Homo-oligomer: A and B are copies of this chain.
Amino acid sequence: MDPRIRQHAATIVNHSVDLQPGENVVISTPSVAEDLAVALHEVVGDIGGVPVYLADSDRADRAYLRAAGADGIETPEHPALYENVDVLIRVRGGQNVTETSDVTPETMAANERAKKPISDIALSKRWCLTQFPCASFAQLAGMSTEAYEDFVWDAIDKDWDAQREHQQRMVDILDPASEIRIKSGDTTDITMSIDGMHTQNDYAEYNLPGGEVFTAPVPDSVEGEVLFDMPLYHQGREVENAHLVFEDGVVVEHSAETNENVLTSVLETDEGARRLGELGIGMNRDIDRFTYNMLFDEKMGDTVHMAVGNAYGDTVGPNRERNESAAHVDMIVDMSEESVIEVDGDVVQRNGRFVFEDEFES
């Protein structure tokens, strides 16, 4: 086994979820990541944790979803299992990233709704989402499998304490702030309130790799338009140049250059899917290329991302409304050129450089 796989498992268990003796942990992986599952079981056993191993198969999902159809999908019996576990580890990967490309967007949205009771429980636990560097995701990124392995494991094997300190400077700006304005070129100019919301510092606990700070907008406060000029890969389809117009927090216009129906279906999942649930700022400059994989892309330096749909509970302050939805779809804006982030009227990032960095041009 590649020694980096054992290192990956140790980082997940010891850093990301900080497993304790006697804790129950659900491990979910695709079959291509069986090596990482083996290494995880080893580390869990060393600590005295108790593992349950769930299979994650896009092929099996596709077969079930097509057979059941949008009207036939019911919530499976994970909830009873998840209520009794302390920690969830989910490893992404597969043999073909377009495996669900012939499941209709309506069926995919119905599946998201059916799974919401499970994801609600899962999100209330300690959890970690990570990536196994398999051939299909290398292909999606246009990379050789070996180069992709280097990319993934280099991004994961990192000094997360230093990254946390770097990001904390942006948390300290955003956490007390009220008004955010994001401008990029002549296609994005959007404002929102984050007054009373909490900004979280992602240093690879819930996402491995980590590398962003994120918060939740006040749901009704979002105004303006945004062009997500970095491609979105969702449900096995590429959505290019998604464009959203917000009024009173709600998407009132939307379009995309490719696969607009995927975007439409996401927005129609439920009421909350037409409002923003997250604003995130990528701060991990070791992720130096776009790989069509949100787990990495949204952490890149020089980007911001916004998610329509569900807001994470720990970003919503007391006495603030939480945007609830079965959907949570992140989309990215390139901030490297002709772009600024303003916080309460002050520019805190220009062309990707933060106010606390030497390269910042005031």
Question: Which residue numbers of A lie inside 8 Å of B, CB to CB?
Answer: 22, 24, 26-27, 29, 31, 34, 37-46, 48, 50-57, 59-68, 72, 74-78, 80-81, 83-85
Contact = CB atoms under 8 A, between A and B. Distances in A.
Contacts of A53: 54-57, 60
Given A39-B63, A41-B63, A59-B34, A68 B52 contact: no
Contacts of A67: 41-46
Nearest to A72: B48
Closest 9 CB pairs of A and B: A45-B67, A31-B31, A55-B55, A81-B81, A45-B68, A41-B64, A42-B63, A41-B63, A45-B64
Contacts of A77: 24, 26, 50, 52, 81, 84-85
A51 B164 CA distance: 40
A46 to B, nearest CB: 5
A198 B64 CA distance: 39
Contact of A34 (B38, B44, B57): B57
Contacts of A72: 45, 48
Nearest to A34: B31
Given A37-B55, A63-B38, A68 B48 contact: yes
Given A41-B61, A57-B38, A24 B68 contact: no
Contacts of A62: 38
Contact of A45 (B59, B66, B81): B66
Contact of A57 (B37, B64, B81): B37
Contact of A76 (B39, B40, B51, B68): B51
A38 B52 contact: no
Contacts of A80: 80-81, 83-84
Contacts of A41: 60-61, 63-64, 67
A103 to B, nearest CB: 11
Nearest to A81: B81
B51 A29 contact: no
Specify which of A22, A27, A41, A42 lies most central, judged by the most chain B CB atoms within 10 Å of its CB.
A41
Contacts of A45: 63-68, 72
Given A55-B54, A75-B50, A60 B31 contact: no
Nearest to A65: B45
Contacts of A54: 52-55
A64 B39 CA distance: 9
Contacts of A37: 55, 57, 59-60
A83 B83 CA distance: 13
Contacts of A44: 64, 67
A238 to B, nearest CB: 24
A59 B84 contact: no
A78 B81 contact: yes
A3 to B, nearest CB: 15
Contacts of A51: 60, 64, 76
A285 B73 CA distance: 42
